[in-house]
Amino acid sequence: MFHFTATVTCLAILFYFFTTIRVGKARSTFGIKAPTISGNPDFERVFRVQMNTLEWMPIFLPSLWLFAIYISDPIAAVLGLVWIAGRILYMTGYSQAANKRGLGFGIQALAAFALLLGALGAIVWRLIHA
Amino acid sequence: MFHFTATVTCLAILFYFFTTIRVGKARSTFGIKAPTISGNPDFERVFRVQMNTLEWMPIFLPSLWLFAIYISDPIAAVLGLVWIAGRILYMTGYSQAANKRGLGFGIQALAAFALLLGALGAIVWRLIHA
Amino acid sequence: MFHFTATVTCLAILFYFFTTIRVGKARSTFGIKAPTISGNPDFERVFRVQMNTLEWMPIFLPSLWLFAIYISDPIAAVLGLVWIAGRILYMTGYSQAANKRGLGFGIQALAAFALLLGALGAIVWRLIHA
């Protein structure tokens, strides 16, 4: 069973949902009416945090589960928590200034690639030894 | 087996695909050439329906499946149908005016959170009782 | 087991990640600073390749896996490779001009719909015969 990975999946979705709520709040704070998404840099940075998190979901979630299935449920979950921590850093940094988004971005990218390349390695190993 | 949830997954994807087709049609109706995505509010509302549906797919699909696996295939499928119904209301409302998107949005958000929080509760319960 | 489909999933994610890297490169090439995403058509086409690939991920990945589970792992993997090939054509075409994106788009759409409708057919067949 994959209880740890399932838990981290729910936490990642809750974090992602939180980034979408911030966009709604930023709309009212900066007076940006839907459907407008550009024009105000302060709003755009909050919007880009959500978008970038969305952009990484199809990298993160399938990699997380393939890693869990092919390697280990608890290790996948730990790497998933690192990914969420990197995402939180990215969000708090980018909200202040565009050039403060690097550290969090790097951490979440490393965690996601550890999951993806670990899973790919394990899958290819199984294919060869099957 | 998860035949009901699998069916609803296909229906949700077909609905989402329909929202992407509407963007293509709106491009020709309002004369917005690719790659432009902003400038005309009538086009932007159609575009935002697709984008918002995309934004909710990584919330909805994993929650749907975790609920199906940890709780019940048919109940997950029913909540999934409610989500699609809310999405359709959101699409028809938002296409008319930005302030008519609330009801459908609320319904689909409730369905998605019933799936997510239900699944999370069941996962944590299993973790504790394992 | 689904080793072939799992491999193609990793390849699709790697390709998608490559389209996000191209956006970062295009930012520096065309001098478009984050969080801006519009204003320069050359940048916008590179950005739209990534966005469109992202937009198709929730159509492609669930369809690929439902097809693999309900019909066949190797056939799903072959259709998945066709999808990636269509996506590569779409990327190289769109990068040159907006009207050169049609062929690759058509190929990846056909592959995705073969996966989606094949899976849906097999699921409904099982529901009826269960």
| A47-90 pLDDT per residue, tens | 999 999 999 999 999 999 999 999 999 999 999 999 999 999 99
Cα–Cα distance, B76 to B65 (Å, whole number): 8
Helices C3-30 and A41-70: crossing angle in degrees, nearest 10, is: 160
C-alpha of A101 from chain center: 13
Please say whether the beta carbons of A70 and A116 come within 8 A: no
Cα–Cα distance, C49 to C21 (Å, whole number): 11
Q: Which residue among C3, C17, C38 sits closest to A123, beta carbon to beta carbon?
A: C3
Q: Which residue among A59, A66, A126 sits closest to C16, beta carbon to beta carbon?
A: A59
Task: Look at the block and give the residue holding tokens 């086009």.
Answer: B43
E strands, chain B, are none
Please say whether the beta carbons of C73 and C1 come within 8 A: yes
Chain C interface, mutation test: which of A66, A91, A108, A125, most C Cβ atoms within 10 Å? A66
Angle in degrees, CA C46, C50, C56, rounded to 5: 140
> Å from C24 to nearest chain B CA?
17
Test B10 with C44 for CB contact under 8 angstroms.
no
Which of A74, A76, A60 lies closest to A112, judged by CA?
A: A60
Q: Is the ipTM of this complex over 0.90?
A: yes
Which tokens in the block code for residue B48?
A: 């935002």
Residue A21: list chain B partners with CB under 8 A.
none
Around B106, how many Cα atoms within 13 Å sit in the side-chain half-sphere? Answer: 5
Q: Which pTM was predicted?
A: 0.95
Please say whether the beta carbons of C3 and A127 come within 8 A: yes
pLDDT at site B121: 98
The band of A36, judged by pLDDT with boundaries at 50, 70 and 90, is: confident
Mean pLDDT over each residue of chain A, to the nearest integer: 94
> Å from B98 to nearest chain A CA?
7
Residue C45: list chain B partners with CB under 8 A.
35
* CB burial readout C40-64, b (16+ within 10 A) else e: beebbbbbbbbbbbbbbbbbbbbbb
Q: Tens of pLDDT along C32-68?
A: 887 777 778 889 999 999 999 999 999 999 999 999 9
> Å from B41 to nearest chain A CA?
7
